[in-house]
Amino acid sequence: MKDYFDTELTAEQLNNISVLGLAHIGDAVYELLVRSWLCANGKSTSKGLHRETVGYVNAPAQAKAAAEIFDKLTQEEQTAFKRGRNAKVNSVPKNAELSQYHAATGLETLFGYLYLKGERDRISELFGLIVED
């Protein structure tokens, strides 16, 4: 049986995925991390979980998270982040500034890139830097 949670793509395969494709998977990875972290830390009601999740998974919060970890990224990780940050987007949510949305897209791209590369430990390390302040 193939383990779909344990995806590990080659550099060539990663380069063939669009930036917004990486951001797409990274958005899901980041949200799953937030949801898991909230459940593990005592949030128990559906309404409370949703409210708390939205507090972390939105462009302004993700832009802040990106700023917190950027200096701790390797050159390769910064390149992945910048690819996402510089991606052309067609719309911006009304609760976010363009710069926040770009930074959030960069963060999602980074998490998608690391996930598809199989770098689970690094994802956990970076996520810990974001939530354990």
Catalytic residues: 27
CB atoms within 10 A of CB 102: 21
* Cα–Cα distance for residue pair 77/110, rounded to 1 Å: 7
* Beta-sheet strands, E only, within the chain: none
The CA-based angle 102-122-41, given to 5 degrees, is: 85
Please tell me what DSSP assigns to residue 42: T
* Cα–Cα distance for residue pair 59/104, rounded to 1 Å: 5
